[in-house]
Structures are given as C-alpha cells and as structure tokens.
C-alpha cells in the first residue's frame, strides 16, 4: 500500500505543475500591467489599491478561514459515509461567507475614501476618489475568491488538487485580455474589469469540480451547527494571527506610498516575482501536507511535519540561490518594457534581493505555523505571529525613519522578522517533540554547493549586462536557459547524492514504505 509520504509527494507534484503555469501567466500579467501603467502614480495607485483586498485573502480566503475549516472537513469526510455532515457544514460556510462579503462590500461602498486616507499617504482628492472606486471593484474579487478558496479546500479534503491549482490561470488571463483590449477606453478600470471577471471565472470552475462530489449550491444560516461552531472557535484565534500579518503588510505599503514615485510599483512587482517560486513550491507542498497533518494520528505528526520541511527545502534552497543571482535579469526580461524603465528594474531588483534571501525562512515559518494549527496550538501560533509582526514593523521604522534606507528596507525587515520567527518556532516544536531536523536537509545544503559556486563565477567573472536591454523574446529565452541549466545541474547533483525529488514509482500491488 502506498505510504502517506509518497502520496503527498505525488499530489505536491501535481499542484506544483499547475501552480508553475499559473505563476508564469501571473508574471506575464504583471508585465502587461507594468508596460501599460509603468512605475507611475496611476501604476502605484493600482498596485496599492489591489493589495488591500488581495491582502485580506489571508483572512477570508486561503489563509485563516481555510486553516480553520480544512481540519473539520477532513474529519467529517473521514468519519462518515453518506456525506451529509460535510454537506451540512458547507451550506453553513456558504451562508457565513455571504454575510462577510456583503458586510465588506457595504463598508467599502460607504467608507472607501476614508479607508484610503487612513491606510495610505494619498491626499489628493482625485487620487483618493479613483482609489475608492477601484477598491470597491477589487472587493468584488475578494468575495468571489473567498468562495473559490472555500470550495477548493473541500476539494483538497477529498484528495482532489488539480482544478484548484489550475483555476487561477483564468484569473490572470482575464486581466491580461481586459487590460490589452480595453485600456484605451477604460484606463485603470480595465484592470478592475479583468479582476472581477477573472474572479467569477475562477469560482465557477471550482464549483463545477465540487459538484462531482454531490455538493449543491445551498446556503444555510444555521450558525448553531456543531461543526460550524468548531470551525468558528478555531477561526477566531487564526483570524488574530492573520490580522497581524495583514497589518504588517499594510504598514509596509503605507511606508512605500510615502516614498518616491514608483516605490509601490517596485515593491508590488518584487513581491509578485518572489511569490512565484514561493507559491509554486511552498503553496503546493503545504496544500497537500496540511490536510494530511490535520487527519493524522498524533504519533505520526512529528514525522509528517519533519519530512514536509525537508521536502520543502529540497526545492527552495536552489531556487533561492538562483533568484538571488538572477534577480535583475528576471525583472528586466519579464517586466522592463514600455513605461517600465531600467531604473525601475534596478529598484525592483534591489528589493527582490532581500525577499529572495528570505524564501526558505518564510516557508519554514509558515509550514511550522500550519503544524501548530493541526496540533490545535492556536494561541502558540498567535504569540509567534505577534513576535514576527513586532520585529517586522520595528525593523521597518528603524531602517526607513532612522537610517533612511528607502524602500529596500521593507524586504530586509520581512526577511529579518521571518528568520527570527522560524528559528524560535522550530526550537519550540523541537523541544516539544513535534519536529526534528532531518539528515536530508544537511544533504540538500551540501548538494547545492556546486550551484552556489557556479553563481559566483557568473556574477564575478562573467558579469553579464545582456539584461540592460529589457524585455524581449531573446532575453526571455536567455533567462529560461539560465534557470533551466541551473535546475538541471541541481537535479543531476541530487540524483548523484541520492536526494529524492519525485515520489517513488509503484512496483506491483505494494510500494515500499518510507
């Protein structure tokens, strides 16, 4: 019989594949937006405004709420045969999401301008008015994506990962088509059109997949449902955790909005590029491992968490080395076109450097935090998140206000804070016998030494300038060859030293247990 570890690896590869496609299209979407709107005041405003509902996904979509209901759905699906319990819970969750969506839309409609003035440095009436209108439209996207995340979570509990991983492709494609075809007519509202249409398409595709498991589009306001009350009880502490994360990111965008023109756009683009490899590997592995941890016996949790971290770092260590080395090349080849100039590439690359260095730290912290959720240690996770938020905000204040480091201080503060959080959380779980450092991690670090040495030669000896020319198909091809060559080298070394990247193939009716 196939082991849980091997099954998790197989599902992770499926999610990684489609997340990779989604991220590639997402970066092309960012290129279209950068080319059309550039690092201008309007470009900054679009990026700042979209970040508000996009940030709140941590609360009502993929983040806090999913962390609360996935363990409950996993339990309900695993313990019953009829499916009535899980269907009943979904009805109530649908009603709960509807109430939240209506409250958010009403609040943004009535107080949009006040919200913009409160959380940004924008004061010019025309800009505030434009931002308030965009914010309402972007909040429609939040409502749609919240349902998509809810239903995707249910699919994951049924062991179905493909549709949820592929659906975001529709969102990015809708924005690309809308901006390219309607920008002259609608201006910045062309992006808003794409966001709303893309969100609707994404939620429709996920719902059609969910129907295969005999779920129906029904709503219930029976908030006394025992499973819902359990979800709500778990959601409240996770909500506090998500709120601290949201607050921290909004503080970073507030600082960016107070700096020179183009700072918000540079920050947003650096985050988009940083989140591409992070989302592909961390997102895929965490998506598969979280329901697995939540449904596992306590005796299995330590092994699953430890192996998950090891598998995560197997991918993220080489990706970090590559992205740190090719940060400017990546930004230039993908985004430098139209109103997005070389100076914007250099600014974005300087921010991306410190985000890239923090990829393993952010992933380690986030994965261990999910381990805390699965163990029911919500208060512990909250305390650690408050620590990370305090270190992040304090670092931003010191580096920007005290030392005048500008927008790069935001990515430096992010990496410092998650580094502190990852270290202390790992020690806590290790002391309490929920986590151990696998020997495989040491092997991964040693196996990446050849790649590290090669990147030094590339930077110090070759010192390339081909990327100064900006985005072109030729430069994209060069970038792809560099990434591909580096990854092939890493894969070759992994094979030589016996590091497993892909799940073991099944031979016969039974597979080897690991």
Per-residue pLDDT of 393-402, as tens digits, reads 999 999 998 8
Predicted confidence at residue 291, as pLDDT, reads 66
With a pLDDT cut of 70, the percent of the chain lying above it is 90
pLDDT digits 0-9 by tens, 10-40: 666 777 777 778 778 888 888 888 888 876 7
Please write the tens of the pLDDT for every residue from 122-143.
Answer: 788 888 999 999 999 999 988 8
Model pLDDT, residue 512: 35
Quick check: 509 pLDDT over 80? no
Encoded tokens for 406: 């500008």
Same domain, 109 and 48: yes
Domain end, chosen from 195, 218, 241, is at 218
Do the domain assignments include residue 22?
no
What does the DSSP 8-state code read for residue 224? T
100's CB contacts (< 8 A; 6+ apart) are 60, 146
Per-residue pLDDT tens over the stretch 239-298: 788 788 888 888 888 888 888 878 888 898 898 889 888 877 887 777 777 767 766 676
The answer to the question of residue 34 being in a domain is no
Instruction: Looking at the structure, tell me whether residues 214 and 242 fall in a common domain.
Output: no
pLDDT tens-digit readout, 394-434: 999 999 988 989 899 999 999 999 999 999 999 988 888 87
User: Residue 223 falls within a domain, yes or no?
Assistant: no
What pLDDT shows up at residue 28?
Answer: 83
Instruction: Round the average pLDDT of the chain to a whole number and report it.
Output: 84
Average pLDDT of the segment spanning 384-389: 92
C-alpha Rg value of the chain to the nearest Å? 22
In this structure, the answer to whether residues 244 and 204 fall within a common structural domain is no
Percent above pLDDT 90 for the chain: 33
Do residues 56 and 202 lie in contact, with contact meaning Cβ atoms separated by under 8 Å?
Answer: no
Do residues 170 and 283 both lie within one domain?
Answer: no
Domain boundary pick from 157, 186, 218: 218
**Residue 28: inside a domain:** no
Q: Which pLDDT value is given to residue 37?
A: 83
Tokens of 248: 């921290």
Can you tell me the mean pLDDT for 43-55?
83
Angle (CA) 44 419 266, round 5°:
15
- The string of DSSP codes covering 386-401 is HHHHHHHHHHHIIIII
Q: What per-residue confidence (pLDDT) applies to 6?
A: 61
The last residue of one of the domains, among 164, 190, 218, is 218
Whether residue 217 is predicted with pLDDT greater than 60 in this model: the reply is yes
How many whole angstroms separate alpha carbon 270 and alpha carbon 280?
A: 16
Q: Report how far residue 331's alpha carbon sits from residue 344's, in angstroms, rounded to the nearest whole number.
A: 9
Into how many domains does the chain fold?
A: 2
205-243 CB burial, b ≥16 within 10 A, e <16:
bbeebbeeeebeeeebeeeebebbebbbebbebbbbbbb
What's the pLDDT tens digit per position in 464-492?
889 998 888 899 999 999 999 999 999 99
pLDDT of 504 over the 60 cut: no
Same domain, 310 and 195: no
In a domain, 27, yes or no: no
Is 336 found in the same domain as 205?
A: no
Q: Are residues 202 and 234 in the same domain?
A: no
In a shared domain, residues 265 and 376:
yes
Does the pLDDT at position 332 exceed 90? yes
Confirm whether 249 is domain-assigned.
yes
How large is the average pLDDT for residues 71-96?
78
Please report whether residue 20 resides in a domain. Answer: no
Do the domain assignments include residue 267? yes
Helix 449-457 vs helix 439-447: crossing angle, to nearest 10: 30
Rounded Cα distance between 353 and 111, Å, is: 37
Residue 72 and residue 126 in one domain? yes
The answer on pLDDT for 196 being more than 90 is yes
Report the C-alpha gap between 112 and 131 in whole angstroms. 8
pLDDT per residue over 343-366, tens digit each?
Answer: 999 999 999 999 999 999 999 998
Cβ–Cβ under 8 Å, residues 30 and 334 = yes
Do 315 and 201 have their domain in common? Answer: no
Same domain assignment for residues 156 and 296: no
Domain that holds residue 119: 41-218
Residues 320 and 172 in one domain: no
């Amino acid at each position: 019989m196939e082991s849980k570890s091997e099954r998790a690896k197989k599902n992770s590869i499926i999610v990684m594949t489609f997340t990779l496609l989604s991220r590639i299209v997402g970066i092309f979407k960012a290129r279209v937006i950068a080319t059309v709107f550039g690092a201008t005041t309007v470009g900054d405003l679009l990026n700042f405004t979209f970040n508000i509902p996009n940030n709140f996904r941590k609360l009502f979509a993929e983040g806090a709420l999913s962390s609360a209901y996935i363990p409950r759905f996993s339990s309900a699906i695993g313990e019953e045969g009829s499916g009535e319990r899980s269907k009943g819970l979904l009805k109530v969750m649908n009603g709960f999401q509807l109430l939240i969506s209506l409250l958010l839309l009403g609040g943004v409609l009535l107080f949009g301008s006040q919200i913009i003035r409160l959380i940004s440095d924008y004061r010019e009436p025309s800009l505030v008015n434009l931002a308030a209108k965009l914010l309402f439209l972007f909040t429609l996207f939040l409502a749609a994506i919240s349902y998509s995340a809810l239903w995707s979570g249910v699919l994951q509990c049924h062991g179905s990962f493909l549709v949820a991983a592929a659906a975001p492709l529709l969102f990015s494609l809708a924005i690309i088509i809308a901006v390219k075809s309607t920008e002259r007519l609608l201006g910045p509202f062309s992006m808003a059109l794409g966001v709303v249409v893309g969100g609707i398409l994404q939620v429709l595709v996920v719902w059609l997949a969910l129907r295969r498991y005999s779920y129906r589009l029904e709503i219930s306001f029976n908030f006394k449902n025992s499973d819902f009350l359990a979800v709500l009880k778990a959601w409240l502490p996770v909500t506090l955790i998500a709120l601290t994360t949201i607050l921290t990111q909004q503080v970073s965008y507030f600082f960016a909005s107070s700096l020179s023109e183009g700072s918000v756009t540079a920050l947003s683009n650096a985050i988009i590029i940083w989140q591409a490899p992070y989302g592909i590997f961390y997102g895929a592995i965490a998506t598969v491992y979280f329901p697995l941890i939540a449904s596992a016996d306590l005796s299995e949790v330590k092994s699953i968490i430890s192996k998950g971290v090891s598998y995560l770092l197997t991918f993220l260590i080489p990706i970090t080395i590559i992205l740190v080395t090719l940060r400017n090349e990546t930004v230039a080849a993908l985004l430098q076109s139209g109103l997005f100039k070389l100076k914007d590439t250099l600014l974005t690359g300087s921010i991306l450097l410190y985000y890239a260095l923090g990829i393993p730290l952010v992933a380690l912290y986030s994965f261990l935090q999910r381990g805390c959720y699965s163990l029911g240690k919500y208060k512990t996770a909250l305390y650690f998140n408050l620590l990370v938020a305090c270190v992040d905000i304090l670092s931003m204040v010191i580096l920007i206000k005290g030392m005048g480091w500008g927008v790069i201080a935001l990515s430096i503060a992010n990496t410092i804070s998650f580094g502190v959080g990852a270290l202390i959380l790992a020690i806590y779980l290790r002391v309490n016998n929920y986590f151990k450092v696998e020997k495989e991690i040491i092997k991964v670090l040693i196996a990446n030494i050849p790649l590290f040495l090669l990147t030094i030669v590339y930077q110090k000896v070759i010192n390339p300038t081909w990327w100064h020319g900006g985005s072109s198909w030729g430069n994209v091809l060069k970038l792809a060859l560099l990434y591909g060559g580096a990854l092939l080298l890493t894969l070759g070394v992994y094979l030589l030293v016996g590091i497993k990247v892909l799940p073991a193939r099944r031979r016969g009716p039974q597979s080897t247990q690991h």
